[in-house]
């Protein structure tokens, strides 16, 4: 195990990324636990205020992200400095993305339905960084041989093709597949080939007169959402605590 860790993580300089990912996930989990305790009125934790203004944890998160990011850029990936700043960066990003919905809506929607976006972004970020840590490169560059990389024309063509697949998947309204497709080209291929989601740019542009394709798209989207929306919401509730009962407020998030 030690040999594998040294060969695949330490030697390629991936230790800072692993430390950043670990600190990011742990910070998010700890933060969610603390906020859930505060919401339930349990434990010694309380909201932080200054001059009557509630200080959200995204504020120290931004400071730590900036500090850790600049520090990591200026440090050696194999040195202790890079490892320390990677941890600082991970903690900062964990605090920031936990309140991603607040930044997006410019409103305190932490416990509302819109607040689920924070959990979704955190899970998506964790998955993408995990894939990158496992050796996946953007737009499938890691799938090319040394000879193909040396062939400039083939290299550019491969990048352009993979980028086009990701772009088609995106305009078909499949954001998650497009994001994952940047690291796993097969996902982008599937997203580009399958029907677009209703309301997407592709659907409005190409399905306007194709009534059968538009109907099939709606049916597939309905079946997909009916199958996976409940699973996704339960997972978000488990992590984010959106449906937990709050004293005096019933079970509805506030």
The pLDDT value given to residue 146: 62
Q: What is the pLDDT of residues 230-242, one digit of tens each?
A: 898 898 898 888 8
User: How far is 58 from 147, CA to CA, in rounded Å?
Assistant: 46
Mean pLDDT of 157-174: 90
The torsion region of residue 232 among left (phi > 0), alpha (psi -120 to 50) and beta comes to: alpha
Determine, yes or no, domain membership for 35: yes
The pLDDT value given to residue 79: 84
Does the pLDDT value for residue 11 go beyond 80?
no
Domain that holds residue 67: 1-46+54-135
Determine, yes or no, domain membership for 7: yes
Predicted confidence band of residue 149 (pLDDT cuts 50, 70, 90): low
User: What mean pLDDT, rounded, does the chain reach?
Assistant: 86
Structural domains of the chain, count: 1
- The pTM (predicted TM-score) of the whole model is 0.80
Does the pLDDT value for residue 252 go beyond 70?
no
User: How far is 211 from 157, CA to CA, in rounded Å?
Assistant: 35
Question: Mean pLDDT lowest for which of 33-42, 149-158, 164-173, 199-208?
Answer: 149-158
Determine, yes or no, domain membership for 9: yes
Determine, yes or no, domain membership for 83: yes
Determine, yes or no, domain membership for 176: no
Determine, yes or no, domain membership for 101: yes
């Amino acid at each position: 195990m030690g040999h594998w860790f040294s060969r695949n993580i330490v030697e390629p300089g991936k230790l800072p990324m692993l430390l950043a990912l670990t600190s990011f996930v742990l910070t998010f989990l700890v933060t969610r636990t603390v906020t859930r305790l505060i919401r339930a009125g349990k434990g010694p934790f309380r909201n932080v205020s200054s001059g009557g203004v509630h200080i959200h944890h995204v504020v120290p998160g931004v400071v730590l992200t900036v500090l850790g990011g600049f520090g990591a850029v200026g440090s050696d990936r194999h040195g202790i400095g890079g490892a320390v700043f990677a941890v600082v960066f991970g903690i900062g990003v964990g605090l920031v993305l936990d309140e991603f919905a607040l930044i997006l809506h410019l409103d305190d929607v932490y416990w509302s339905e819109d607040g689920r976006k924070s959990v979704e972004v955190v899970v998506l970020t964790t998955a993408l960084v995990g894939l990158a840590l496992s050796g996946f490169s953007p737009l499938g560059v890691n799938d090319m041989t040394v000879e193909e990389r040396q062939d400039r024309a083939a290299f550019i063509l491969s990048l352009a093709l993979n980028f086009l697949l990701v772009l088609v998947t995106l305009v078909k309204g499949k954001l998650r597949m497009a994001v994952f497709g940047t690291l796993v080209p097969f996902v982008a291929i599937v997203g580009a080939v399958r029907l677009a989601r209703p309301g997407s740019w592709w659907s409005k542009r190409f399905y306007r007169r194709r009534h059968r394709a538009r109907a099939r798209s709606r049916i597939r989207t309905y079946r997909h959402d009916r199958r996976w929306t409940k699973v996704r919401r339960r997972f978000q509730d488990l992590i984010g605590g959106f449906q937990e009962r709050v004293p005096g407020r019933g079970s509805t998030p506030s």
